[in-house]
Structure 1
Amino acid sequence: MNVSDIQQLLAAAGWYSGAIDGDAGAKTLQTVAQAETAQAGAYVEPPSGWPQARRLIGAGQAVLFQLGFEPGAVDGYAGHNTVEALTAWQSERAGTTSTLSRSAIVGAKSDPAQLAYPRQKDMPAFYGEAGGAQCTAGKVQLAYPMKIAWNKAQTVTRFSCHEKLSEPLTGIFRDALAHYGQADIERLELDVFGGCYNLRKMRGGAALSVHAYGAAVDLNPEKNQLRWGADRAQFAAEDYAAFWRIVMAHGGTPAGYAWGADWMHFQFARL
């Protein structure tokens, strides 16, 4: 998300009337302050102490939130949720679509353990209501610390998931460490956490995301972007095949194997 994007968003909200010139000058910054006041309740914390670059991104997120494009947390960090929300807004504005095909690949790699989990259409019956307390009641104890994708100075050693998934998710990262060792985990960037629970719609779609049930995980989204195929995605390389076997052996479905894109993502729901 660059300054021009943020200026366009602020203009769409009716707060900015200057040139879309990519220059974070006085007029743009005055409008950022206006957005912070108007959308104060959307911010994760008061942004007054944030550096300028973070305040700009936060203002863009606040407008996306206001317009209903689900940028994730309004925290001033342009992670993949923010980037996809911006893509959806820009696509709608241009009269095009941001819809992403998730058609199942014929003969996709799989494991019998995946049969323990529902198809996407049956998730409410299996997991309960999206956004319910059970969707974050599970706690994954990580076998190694993970960097937060949108703020790599921050690390986590645990994260929340659906109460039915704490055991398989804990097992995936335990077995990944046993297979690769810490040095290769870091070299392959299997230690960059992109999120689990998020009550939102599916990116590029209208239905609720599997993340809304706490039943999906994203890893290293920057190098495995939603719309990238195996020709571009980091996690499509042979070095990661063992990791995806581990995921499937614990019942997870890798998006890259299931529909050929979104290689950051695996979920406990079949297509």
Structure 2
Amino acid sequence: MTEVSTNWPLERVADLNAFYGDPRGSDGSVGVEWYHENMDIWSPPYPMFYSDGKHTPLHHLSVHKKCLVVFDAAFKDVLETLGHDYIVEKRLNISGGSFCYRLERGGSRLSVHSWGCAIDMDPQHNPFPHHWVANRGFIDMKFVGIMQRHGFDWRGDLEHHDIDPMHFQLCRHVF
């Protein structure tokens, strides 16, 4: 069984590599060996759909094995606390995905998604780069609270005026 962390790494490449392993392969793509040793399949506890506008089901998402238990517990808590109808009404069943080996948008370093420790929720209504705004259809704050209780760092953080309200990660953002 994988040990669950309560002390997630800082959102710096060296810290992410030390905690999750280095996902970089020798040819500029994800390391195949790293992927097979570190990634696992997560099945959401309620029906989720990809944010492609086609209602494409997301039966499984790839996440880092160190994050699997936390993803599962957080989203089960969402279902138990908020209920299926609320989830659908607030679009908490729409995701832009989790693992994606790529550079940050507009950046030169790997996105946190490259370590499989992040998930984007309802990107169409929570676009990057935008501040979260109340009563504008942005991500539900009850959902945010549940995710944060389970250790996710929300990149729509109001206190720090963050600009990525769709994004939840199991590493600590450096402001």
Q: TM-score range by the shorter chain?
A: 0.7 to 0.9
1:152 positional shift:
2.9
Q: Distance in 1 between matches of 2:71 and 2:43?
A: 9
1:126 to 5, 11, 19: 19
Which blocks of at least 5 consecutive residues in structure 1 are unaligned?
1-112
Higher relative contact order (CA 8 A, sep 6+): 2
SS in 1 for 2:46: strand
Q: Quick check: 2:5–2:66 contact (8 Å CA) kept in 1?
A: no
Name 1:205's counterpart in structure 2: 107
Q: Distance in 2 between matches of 1:135 and 1:197?
A: 14
Is 1:116 aligned to residue 43 of structure 2?
Answer: no
**Percentage of identical aligned residues:** 29
1:170 to 68, 72, 85: 72
Name 1:235's counterpart in structure 2: 138
**Rg comparison, structure with higher value:** 1
Q: Describe the shift of the 1:213–1:175 C-alpha distance in structure 2 as closer, same or farther (beyond 3 A).
A: same
SS in 2 for 1:161: strand
1:266 positional shift:
0.6
Deviation readout 1:89-123 (Å, 9 max, x if unpaired): xxxxxxxxxxxxxxxxxxxxxxxx99510001210
Q: Quick check: 1:144–1:157 contact (8 Å CA) kept in 2?
A: no
Alignment size in residue pairs: 156
Give the TM-score normalised by structure 2: 0.81
1:234 positional shift:
3.1
Is 1:270 aligned to residue 172 of structure 2?
Answer: yes
Q: Distance in 1 between matches of 2:122 and 2:114?
A: 19
Give the TM-score normalised by structure 1: 0.53
Which structure 1 residue ranges, 4+ long, deviate > 6 Å from structure 2? none
2:126 to 212, 220, 224: 224
Name 1:193's counterpart in structure 2: 95
Once superposed, what is the RMSD of the aligned Cα atoms? 2.2
Which blocks of at least 5 consecutive residues in structure 2 are unaligned?
24-29
Is 1:252 aligned to residue 152 of structure 2?
Answer: yes
1:6-25 matches, cutoff 5 A: none
